Amino acid sequence: ISTKFFSDDDINPPRGPDVLIIQKEDEKKNLTKAIQKLAEEFQCKVCAMFQCEYSVAFYARALHDEDYEEDETVMFDTVVYNNGSGYDPETGEFQVPLDGAYIFFFHTTSGSEESADSSIIANEQRVCHSTIGDGKKSGSCQAVVELREGQMVYIQSVFRHPQMYLGNSTSFAGYWLYPLPTA
C-alpha cells in the first residue's frame, strides 16, 4: 500500500479500499486520543477525591473557660489536626483552600444555667444552629455546604454567654468531601 495524504480541498480525492484503511486508522487514532484525554480527566477527578495532596481536614478544641458576647467568633485555640492549613486558631476561622462540598460540626458545653446558642457561619450565612439550655449542658450541630476557595467558616455565639465553653469537650472540625462540578 502506498501512502499519500490528501486534504479536504482536493477536488477528486482517491477512493478505494486503500483510502478506507487509512481513514479508519486515522479515526482509530483520533478516538484513542479522545479516550486517553477522558481517562486523564477522570483520573484527575478521582485523584482529587482520594489522594492526600487534595485532602483538607481540621479538628480544633477549646481547652479553657471563656465568656462570649453576642455574635462573637468562638475561639478553638488548640489545633489537633489541620491538613491543608485552612483553620487559623488566632481568628477561630477556617478559610476554604479548595472549592468543594465540606462537612463541618461542633460540640459545645456550658457551665451556666443560661441559654447558650451557637451557629456555624459559612460564607456569612447561618447554616446550622445549636441551643444549650432548659437543663442541657451541651449542644452539637453539623452541616454540609458547598464552598468556594477563600470563603470563611466559623462558629458564632448567638447571645452573650457566661462560661459557655468549658474546655476539652468543646470542639470544631470539618473536612472536604468532594470537588464541585465544573460548569
User: In the prediction, which pLDDT does 39 show?
Assistant: 56
User: In the prediction, which pLDDT does 44 show?
Assistant: 53
User: In the prediction, which pLDDT does 175 show?
Assistant: 95
3-state secondary structure of 142: strand
Query: Which candidate, 54, 57, 58, 74, places its Cα nearest to that of 66?
Result: 74
User: In the prediction, which pLDDT does 52 show?
Assistant: 42
Extract the residue ranges of the chain whose pLDDT is less than 70. 1-24, 28, 31-54, 112-113, 134-136, 160-168, 183
CA 92/CA 62 separation, integer angstroms: 10
User: In the prediction, which pLDDT does 147 show?
Assistant: 96
User: In the prediction, which pLDDT does 12 show?
Assistant: 59
E strand or H helix that includes residue 171: strand 170-178
Q: Which triple of cell numbers denotes residue 157?
A: 455565639
Q: Hey, which bits of 17-169 come out as E strands?
A: 57-62, 66-68, 78-83, 87-88, 93-95, 100-109, 116-122, 125-132, 138-147, 152-157, 161-165
User: In the prediction, which pLDDT does 117 show?
Assistant: 82
pLDDT tens digits along 69-115 = 788 898 888 899 999 899 999 999 999 999 999 999 998 887 766 77
